[in-house]
Structure formats: C-alpha cells, structure tokens
Structure 1
Amino acid sequence: MLEALATPGLIWVVAATFVAGLVYGFSGFGAALVYMPVATAVVAPPLAIGAFAVSALASLVTLVPRAWHQADRPNTLLMVAAAILAAPLGIWILRTTDVTVIRWTLSAITMMTLLLLMAGWRYRAVPTKPVRAGIGAAAGVMMGSVGLNGPLVILFQLGGPDDIGRSRANTLIFLTLSSLSLVPLMMLQGVIGWEAFWLGLLLLAPYGLGTLMGRRLFDPDKEKVYRRVAYAVVAGAVLIGLPLWN
C-alpha cells in the first residue's frame, strides 16, 4: 500500500479515476476512455490497466445491481465470456509491444470511437449469437492490449435498436464483469504484480464516489445532454494523454 501511495503523479491518476466514474455512472460508458489516456501519461500501461481493473469492484456495488434487472443478461454474459477467453491474446500483445506504440494506439482508438458515437452510427440487422460472441472476443483483445474493452461494445449497443435504459445496462454489466477478469489474467502472464492491486484499492473510493454521483445525475429524458458532456470529457482526456506531451 505504501508503494502505491508513492506512485509518481498519483493525484492525476486519482482525479482521472473520479471523472471516469462520474462519466460512467450517468452515461453507462466512457470510464476507460477517460481514464486510460490520462493514466498512461503518468504510469506504465500495464500498471494503469491493472489498477483500473481492480477499481471496477466499486461498480459491483454502485451500478451493477440496478443494471442487472434491466439488461439482456443471457446475451451480455455470452459477450463477457467471449471477452475473457480472448483477453490473454491482448495481454500478450501488451507484454511484447513498445509503450509508445500502445499509447498512440490507445489515443487513436479512443478518438475514433468518439467520432463514430458523435456521428450517430447505427446498424439495422438483428445480431446473432455468433456475432455477439465475435464482438465480445474482439473487445477482449482490446481490453488486454490497451485497456479498452468498451469501444466496440459501446458502438454495438448504442448502434442497435435497444432503448437507452437497456443499452446502458448491457454496457455496464459487460464492462464491469470483463474488467474484473483482467487482474488474475494479467498476473498469470506476469504483466502486473501486487503494486497494481494496491493502487487499484486506492482508486476504489474515488471511482465509487464518481459512479454514485453519476448514477444520481442520470435521467433517460436528458440523454442528449449527458452524452454531449461525456463526449467533451473523453475528448479532453484524449488530448491530455497524447504522447506528444512527454
């Protein structure tokens, strides 16, 4: 724990975690999109990814119980399982790829996701179970390699026919459960140690507080307002996290 308190730039990681939780609580997405660009500008990507995965424990208490009753549980859990099975490939990529390449990839994926969301991308076909499993697996690879399990799933959910309540619930459950699986998977490959675990515990409080505040702000009738705020925060996080500022 003392080692985690001595993490250089800890205050910025804590601040990013709180804002990430706030955005996640009211929009149902965007936590990693906000957190990762900022955190990886301060600490190594494996440590940032592992710590944030631990902080996802807060969502089990603050967000998942309510979302569980609204979600399409069978299909969402299918995607979670596919993500967990595919995540080791992503972790291997993280372990063998240069840090700067990972940070540029992270920023590019985040900005592309943001632009597609702002453009209102939609699809018409009803997704089959193999398609859902494929989306989950691809998200798992991204989760393990750059810490972003959300972009593909967010586009998939928001681009479909579900109302905002169910779409938000599906996304919350997928992101929370898949993120929690990262810690043991990364430890098994030797990518992170106990430092990430202790740092993640420190982030539990700011993340949990942010998600609670965001959940109270959520109002389905003001969907456009909240999405616009979330988009603005994500864009700011991308600019802050660009490797150009090193």
Structure 2
Amino acid sequence: MPEAISELLAYDGLGWLIFGVFLAGTVRGFTGFGTALVYLPIAGQFMSPVWALTTLVLMEAVGPLPNTPSAFRTARLDQVRRMLIGATIALPLGLLILFAMKPELFRYGVCVLTLTVPLLLAGGVRLRRDIGPGLQYGAGTLSGFLGGVAGVPGPPVILLYMASSEPARVIRANIMLYLIIFDFAVIAMLALQDKMELTPVLLGVLLIVPNLLGNLAGAAMFHPDRQRLYRVAGYGITMMSGLSGLPIWD
C-alpha cells in the first residue's frame, strides 16, 4: 500500500486533476450540477475512460453529501424517482460501450457534450409545457445511457430542468439529488463487473477533499435571486473545460 500511495502522489497531471475537481465542485455547489461536465474533459487527458468514470463517481459519492439534506427537502421526489427508473434501464448498455471505447473517442464525446449543453441553454432553449412523467422517464433513460457511455449523465436532466419554468431552488435540488443517487448506482455496477482498480479508486478517494471543499464553497455562494449569474458562470466554466479537453490540443 505505501508503494501505491507513492505512485498516486507522483501521478502525471495530479495537480491539474485537483484543480479541476475543486472548480467542478464549486460549480456543482451553486448550480446543483456540472461536476462531470467540468471534470471529465480534464481527466480524459490523463487517464482511460473507465478510470475517469471511476474517479468521478467515487469523489461524487461524498463531495455533495453536505448539500444533500437540503436538496432532499426541496426536491420533487416523484420526478427524481421517475428519472432514476429510466436511468437504471439504460445505464448497463452505456457501460458496455464505454468498456470497449478508445480514449480519444471518449474525450471527443465528452467535450462535444460539454460544449453542447451550455450552447443550447444560452441559445434560449425552453420548454413550453409542464414537465410530465413521459419527459421525466425519457430524460432519465437518455441520462443513464450517456452516464454509462461518456460518464456525463447530466445533460438530458439539466436541459429538461434548466429549460423549464421550475424555481431555481427546485431545479438545483432535483438535479443534485438525482446525480448523487446515480453515482452510487454506477459504483455498484462497476464493482459488480470488477472494474474498480486500485489506482483510480485511490485517486477517487484523494479527490474527495477538493471536491468537498468546492461543493461547500459553491453552496455558500448560492442565492436563489442570483439565478441568471449562476447560469452565466456555469456556462462559461463548462465551455472552457470542454475546449481545453479536446484532443486537437495534444
């Protein structure tokens, strides 16, 4: 174990990973989402797709926990439950594709998704009707597939709620609670398929601290009356991360 820890501390790009995790946690703290969108384009530059997903879900299983009680009280649990049912159906298929995917293709896929979400939202995509059960199941199913194949479950759910007329506090709570439970589902499936290797597990545990600090910092910044400011900041950070992770810069 001491040798494994020494290798971990000497891991190539560890400083960038810590910085990216803190930034991602901060975005998650004040918006309720964004960790994967910010972190994965950075992580994809330093590790394989499966390792990137492993470190993400491990640190995310702990980082947002201080904000979970308030999210549970505010969220509309029936909506979260429907999305999770859809996600559970599609997640295994997404993971099967991820296990066979080349790292470069993974990076392009993650970065394209990361850039697409803020562009769509900034372009004024909005729902003109209530979020019914059909949309909730559909968003969850697509989210489960994307969460498996690219480690990015957020975009369908983010688009669903950020394009709706729901209050900012409900949007934040629904997305946050959904993503926390989704992360535990991914951990369980990775463990069942014997994909939890020692190095990414240790990295994921190490990254819990900057992720937790970022979540706390972001939550301290959150005020419902500053919804527009949070959206603009979240879009900007997400797009910078997506652009920086494109393989064309290698």
Q: 1:30 is matched with which residue: 30, 34, 46?
A: 34
**Deviation for aligned residue 1:154:** 0.2
In structure 2, the residue matched to 1:184 is: 188
Percent of residue pairs bearing the same amino acid type: 32
- Once residues 166 and 11 of structure 2 are traced to their aligned partners in structure 1, the CA distance between those partners, rounded to angstroms, is 42
Aligned length: 246
Letter in 1 for 2:132: T
1:189-228 Cα offsets, whole Å, 9 max, x none, are 3444232222111011100000000000011111111211
In structure 2, the residue matched to 1:199 is: 203
Q: Displaced runs of 4+ in structure 1, greater than 4 A? A: none
Letter in 2 for 1:17: V
Q: 1:152 is matched with which residue: 156, 164, 167?
A: 156
- Once residues 91 and 189 of structure 2 are traced to their aligned partners in structure 1, the CA distance between those partners, rounded to angstroms, is 8
- Once residues 229 and 106 of structure 1 are traced to their aligned partners in structure 2, the CA distance between those partners, rounded to angstroms, is 20
In structure 2, the residue matched to 1:91 is: 95
1:165-194 Cα offsets, whole Å, 9 max, x none, are 101110100111102221221233344423
Letter in 2 for 1:156: L
**Deviation for aligned residue 1:66:** 0.8
Letter in 2 for 1:112: T
Q: Aligned pair 1:135/2:108, yes or no?
A: no
In structure 1, the residue matched to 2:176 is: 172
- Once residues 25 and 164 of structure 1 are traced to their aligned partners in structure 2, the CA distance between those partners, rounded to angstroms, is 13
In structure 2, the residue matched to 1:242 is: 246
Q: Which moved more, 1:207-216 or 1:50-59?
A: 50-59
- Once residues 145 and 243 of structure 2 are traced to their aligned partners in structure 1, the CA distance between those partners, rounded to angstroms, is 24
**Deviation for aligned residue 1:124:** 1.7
Structure 1 runs not aligned, ≥5 long: none
In structure 2, the residue matched to 1:55 is: 59
Paired residues of 2:63 and 2:208 also in contact (CA < 8 A): no
In structure 1, the residue matched to 2:25 is: 21
Q: Which moved more, 1:31-40 or 1:226-235?
A: 226-235
Q: Which moved more, 1:75-84 or 1:229-238?
A: 75-84
Q: Name the SS for the 1:66 alignment partner.
A: helix
| Residues 7/77 of structure 1: CA separation in 2 closer, same or farther (3 Å cut) | farther
Q: Aligned pair 1:77/2:77, yes or no?
A: no
Q: Name the SS for the 2:134 alignment partner.
A: helix
- Once residues 242 and 123 of structure 1 are traced to their aligned partners in structure 2, the CA distance between those partners, rounded to angstroms, is 31
In structure 2, the residue matched to 1:43 is: 47
Letter in 1 for 2:248: L
Paired residues of 2:44 and 2:106 also in contact (CA < 8 A): no
In structure 1, the residue matched to 2:108 is: 104
**Deviation for aligned residue 1:60:** 4.9
1:62-105 Cα offsets, whole Å, 9 max, x none, are 21111111100121022123213321111111111222111111
Paired residues of 2:115 and 2:243 also in contact (CA < 8 A): no
Root mean square deviation of aligned Cα: 1.5
Letter in 1 for 2:209: A
- Once residues 92 and 9 of structure 2 are traced to their aligned partners in structure 1, the CA distance between those partners, rounded to angstroms, is 29
Paired residues of 1:59 and 1:176 also in contact (CA < 8 A): no
Q: 1:10 is matched with which residue: 11, 14, 18?
A: 14
- Once residues 235 and 122 of structure 1 are traced to their aligned partners in structure 2, the CA distance between those partners, rounded to angstroms, is 20
| Residues 85/59 of structure 1: CA separation in 2 closer, same or farther (3 Å cut) | farther
Q: Aligned pair 1:216/2:227, yes or no?
A: no
- Once residues 4 and 143 of structure 1 are traced to their aligned partners in structure 2, the CA distance between those partners, rounded to angstroms, is 26
**Deviation for aligned residue 1:164:** 0.7
Q: Aligned pair 1:124/2:102, yes or no?
A: no
Q: 1:161 is matched with which residue: 160, 165, 170?
A: 165
Paired residues of 1:33 and 1:234 also in contact (CA < 8 A): yes
Q: Which moved more, 1:63-72 or 1:175-184?
A: 175-184
